[in-house]
């Protein structure tokens, strides 16, 4: 976690995966300070005593060591600003006030597309007010809090803008000295703005530099800790730490102990995750050099393969603040990879003649090789972490079978091939369950419940004991390339691929079930997966490892052992801007709501429908649906049930 620095204009992160492991450290200052008195709350209406203009103070945007930042509206023009409010009591000493004056004088001279615009300032008897450009999408810290990791194209998009601002600052002889996620703000148009110049200073010759240690611990350069002073190279170091954090999910030198963090920084001790691309690793190694003179310059960073050979989008969608965007790089070099990937994970029905068997064999081998060398390396930094992975935008793989199911002839070919080459080690099963049947049953149950239930202020008593059921405890959406992966509460893993096929790995990782369609599947040992399925098996295994290592269980329901039972088949998943719906072959229906991470699960373990509600605190409560129909439920749960009913009805109308 990154702590708030001097005058930091963003709140501490409050609810990130593994929040208990990453506690914010205090900001680093030049010397210990006595405890400051609490800041007085500014009045709701702010008046400029000189101009007479009045402003309405709105919500708190963030707070730091000396200031609070509020959303403030000019009552005459209705223009909105982000305003730093600094109580005089916090800057009573001459050197403290000098810092504020320095920040104002330095910032007001800056005029650049990617730097937060300084508007004006004034003070009254209580506070100093600094009016700044308001960035409605908050900061990269907020995006990181929601996403935890970003795709490489997204990181390039943001870094290019940061570097543009840094080149401008360094050309003017100004060092920022506190580059971190919370000081990169994002406006309505998804443009990045560098802000918070509370620690900024004018560049001095090396022999005249101040030796003050200031900034944020996780982003401090070795030379700063060694009291050699800040230079442009120190900002470059911090930029490298920002890049690492966005790609990997945590700062490179972060530990639970501040002294250990400083030791790691001084000795440049950090690890590069295996999932990073080679250009990303090389660029980070070129930036995070102990000797400032050996570090890449800003120009060298932009000329590196990470930027020159990687796709950078012209603009990111606002949805990327909370979920993985679907990016379509216009890169002809990837056409072969796309072609062979579609052969294995086909998205649309082919209208050309079937290739000769020899050609299909060559493509199969090529796909297998590409999967083993490329796919798994790409997945981990293109999915998101948290208690669940956030959904990407794009078509649900099962929402339109005509568009998502591969050519029937190709599936028959795979079926014949598996039967022919693996007859001695696999079992073939026939079964038939449909999503339409699950939806129709759920609609009937919900309609009946909502139509007869009486008004109620609270939910009925939760069942103290009931038969446990299987539910989705973790999930990862990577459907913009391969498919949707999930972990069940019995610890088995499944992936519904974009071509409509489905693969399940048992909890002990020893048995695999592969479904060509809803009515036909093969079962074999994990050690005897047919060659034709090695590509999908590689993706499945990577999803399994990723969810096990990085994602947190989505509720307090107990894990259960279903070893030996027939694996559940994910029939369909549907996402809206509010929730994710998952339908399973045993009639289980689960809906996860994004904003508050609440979940509603319908299950029929004993043929009498149970409803389980997991609230925002991850506590679970299970009721008989008949009890809710008889006694009613809270408004909170009723809203969710009505939403689920509308969603299911829309599926039947589609």
Q: Say yes or no: 297 and 424 in one domain.
A: no
Residues 286-299 have pLDDT tens digits of 999 999 999 999 99
Flag whether 242 is in a domain: yes
Statement to judge: residues 314 and 418 lie in one domain: no
Per-residue b or e along 22-31, where b marks 16 or more CB atoms closer than 10 Å to that residue's CB: beebebbeee
Phi, psi values for residue 559, rounded to 5°: -75, 145
**CA quadruple 571, 574, 579, 580: dihedral sign:** positive
- Answer for the pair 193, 184: CB distance below 8 angstroms, yes or no: yes
The upper half-sphere exposure of residue 317, i.e. CA atoms within 13 Å in the direction of its Cβ, equals 12
- Pick left, alpha or beta for residue 327 (phi over 0 → left; psi -120 to 50 → alpha; otherwise beta): beta
If 0-12 CB within 10 Å is exposed, 13-18 middle and 19+ buried, where does residue 596 land?
A: exposed
Question: Cα dist. 107→80, 94, 139, 229 in Å?
Answer: 19, 20, 19, 21
Q: State both tokens at 67.
A: 């200031």
- Count other C-beta atoms under 10 Å from residue 412's C-beta: 11
For residue 304, tell me if it sits in a domain: yes
Q: DSSP code of 115?
A: B
**Whether residues 131 and 250 fall in one domain:** yes
Q: What's the CATH number where 205 sits?
A: 1.10.510.10
Buried b (16+ CB within 10 A) or exposed e, 300-326: ebbebebbeebebbeebeeebbbbbbe
Residue listed under structure tokens 């709140």: 11
Residue of 395, 427, 590 whose CA lies nearest to 500: 395
Name the H helices within 551-589: none
Q: What pLDDT does 223 receive?
A: 93
Q: Could you list the active site residues?
A: 178
Pair (299, 411) in one structural domain: no
Can you give the pLDDT at residue 208? 65
Contacts of 256 (CB under 8 A, 6+ apart): 21, 23
Q: CA dist 501 to 347, 397, 398, 407, 494, Å?
A: 11, 10, 10, 12, 11
Answer positive or negative: Cα dihedral of 163, 167, 168, 169: positive
Rounded Cα distance between 78 and 1, Å, is: 36
- State residue 186's pLDDT score: 97
Q: Name all contacts of 252-259 with Cβ < 8 Å and 24+ positions apart.
A: 252/284, 252/288, 253/218, 254/1, 254/22, 254/218, 256/21, 256/23, 258/25, 258/217
Residue 527, pLDDT score: 85
Cβ burial of 382 (10 Å; 0-12, 13-18, 19+) is: buried
In this structure, are residues 56 and 75 in contact, taking their beta carbons and an 8 Å threshold? yes
- Please check whether residues 427 and 314 belong to one and the same domain: no
Q: pTM (2 decimals)?
A: 0.50
pLDDT attached to residue 43: 58
pLDDT of residue 187: 95
> In this structure, what DSSP letter does residue 215 have?
B
Instruction: Show which of 281, 303, 318 is a domain's final residue.
Output: 318
- Residue 104 vs residues 70, 130, 633: alpha-carbon distances, Å: 17, 8, 55
Q: Do 209 and 98 fall into the same domain? A: yes
How many folded domains does the chain comprise?
A: 2
Please identify every stretch of the chain with a pLDDT value under 70, giving residue numbers as ranges.
1-43, 206-209, 211, 330-433, 466-467, 517-519, 553-567, 605-607, 653-654
* Residue 36 within a domain: no
Residue 268 domain-assigned? yes
Strands 570-575 and 472-478: unpaired
Report the CATH number at residue 521: 3.30.1120.30
The reply to whether 312 and 405 lie within a common domain is no
Reference 376, options 534, 584, 513; nearest CA is 534
Could you tell me which residues are beta bridge partners of residue 524? 426, 512
Q: What is the pLDDT of residue 433?
A: 59
- As a residue count, the chain comes to 654
Domain of residue 152 covers 45-318
CB atoms within 10 A of CB 343: 20
Alpha carbon distance 468, 558 (integer Å): 8
Region of residue 553 (left: phi > 0; alpha: psi -120 to 50; beta: else): beta
How does DSSP assign 463-529, residue by residue?
A: PSS------EEEEEEETTTTEEEEEETTS-EEEEETTS-EEEE-TTS-EEEEEEETTEEEEEEGGG-
93 marked as binding residue: yes
Boundary residue ending a domain (303, 318, 333): 318
φ/ψ of residue 415, rounded to 5: -60, -50
Contact 70, 83 (CB under 8 A): yes
Q: Can you tell me the distance from the alpha carbon of 610 to that of 363, in angstroms, rounded to the nearest whole number?
A: 47
Q: What is the pLDDT of residues 301-318, one digit of tens each?
A: 999 999 999 999 999 999
Q: Specify if 331 maps to a domain.
A: no
288 domain-assigned: yes
Please indicate, yes or no, whether residues 295 and 155 belong to a single structural domain of this protein. yes
Domain stop point among 290, 318, 346: 318
| Residue 575 lies inside a defined structural domain of this protein | yes
Residue 335 counted as domain residue: no
The answer to whether the Cα torsion of 401, 406, 409, 414 is positive or negative is: negative
What kind and span of H or E run contains 623? strand 620-624
**Rounded-to-integer distance, Cα 285 and Cα 299, Å:** 16
């Amino acid at each position: 976690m990154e702590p708030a620095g001097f005058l930091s204009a963003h709140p501490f992160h409050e609810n990130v995966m593994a929040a208990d492991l990453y506690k914010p450290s205090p900001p680093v200052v030049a010397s210990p300070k006595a405890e400051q008195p609490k800041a007085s709350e500014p009045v709701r209406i702010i008046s400029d005593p000189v101009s007479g203009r009045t402003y309405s103070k709105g919500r708190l945007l963030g707070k730091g060591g000396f200031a609070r930042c509020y959303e403030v509206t000019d009552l005459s023009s209705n223009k909105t600003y982000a305003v730093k409010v600094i109580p005089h009591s916090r800057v009573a000493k001459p050197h403290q006030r000098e810092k504020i004056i320095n920040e104002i004088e330095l910032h007001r001279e800056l005029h650049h597309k990617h730097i937060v615009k300084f508007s004006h300032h004034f003070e009254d008897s209580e506070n100093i007010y600094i009016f700044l450009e308001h960035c409605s999408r908050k900061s990269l810290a907020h995006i990181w809090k929601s996403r935890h990791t970003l795709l490489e194209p997204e990181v390039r998009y943001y870094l290019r803008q940061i570097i543009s601002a840094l080149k401008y600052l360094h050309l003017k002889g100004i060092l920022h000295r506190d580059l971190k996620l919370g000081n990169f703000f994002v406006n309505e148009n998804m443009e990045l703005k560098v802000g918070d110049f509370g620690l900024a200073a004018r560049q001095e010759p090396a022999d005249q530099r101040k030796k003050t240690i200031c900034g944020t611990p996780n982003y401090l350069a070795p030379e700063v800790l060694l009291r050699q002073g800040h230079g442009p190279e120190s900002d470059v170091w911090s930029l490298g730490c920002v890049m690492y954090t966005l790609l990997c999910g945590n700062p490179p030198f972060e530990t639970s102990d501040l002294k250990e963090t400083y030791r790691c920084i001084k000795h440049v001790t950090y690890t590069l995750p295996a999932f990073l691309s080679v250009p990303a690793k090389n660029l980070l190694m070129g930036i995070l050099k102990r000797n400032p003179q050996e570090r890449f310059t800003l120009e060298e960073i932009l000329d590196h393969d990470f930027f020159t050979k990687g796709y950078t989008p012209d603009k990111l969608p606002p949805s990327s603040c909370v979920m993985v965007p679907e990016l379509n790089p216009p890169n002809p070099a990837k056409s072969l990879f796309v072609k062979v990937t579609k052969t294995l994970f086909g998205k649309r029905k082919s209208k050309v003649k079937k290739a000769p068997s020899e050609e299909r064999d060559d493509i199969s081998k090529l796909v297998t090789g590409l999967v083993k060398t490329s796919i798994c390396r790409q997945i981990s930094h293109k999915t998101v972490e948290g208690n669940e992975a956030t959904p990407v935008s794009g078509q649900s793989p099962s929402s339109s079978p005509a568009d998502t199911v591969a050519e029937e002839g190709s599936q028959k070919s795979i079926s014949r091939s598996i039967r022919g080459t693996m007859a001695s080690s696999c079992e073939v099963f026939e079964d038939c369950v449909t999503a339409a049947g699950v939806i129709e049953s759920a609609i009937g149950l919900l309609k009946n419940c909502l139509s007869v239930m009486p008004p109620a202020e609270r939910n009925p008593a939760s069942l103290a004991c009931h038969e446990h059921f299987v539910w989705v405890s973790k999930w990862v959406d990577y459907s913009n390339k391969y498919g949707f992966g999930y972990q069940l509460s019995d610890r088995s893993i499944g992936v519904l691929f974009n071509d409509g096929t489905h693969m399940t790995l048992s909890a002990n990782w020893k048995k695999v079930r592969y479904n060509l369609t809803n009515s036909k599947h093969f079962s074999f040992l994990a050690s005897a997966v047919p060659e034709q399925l090695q590509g999908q098996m590689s993706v499945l295994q990577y999803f399994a490892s990723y969810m096990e290592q990085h994602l947190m269980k989505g509720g307090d329901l107990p894990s259960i052992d279903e070893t030996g039972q027939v694996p559940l088949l994910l029939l369909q998943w549907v996402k809206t801007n509010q929730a994710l719906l998952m339908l399973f072959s045993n009639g289980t229906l689960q809906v996860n709501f994004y904003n508050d991470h609440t979940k509603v699960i319908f299950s029929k373990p004993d043929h009498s429908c149970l409803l389980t509600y997991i609230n925002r605190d991850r506590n679970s409560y299970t009721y008989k649906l008949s009890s809710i129909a008889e006694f009613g439920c809270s408004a909170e749960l009723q809203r969710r049930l009505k939403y689920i009913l509308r969603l299911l009805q829309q599926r039947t109308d589609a």
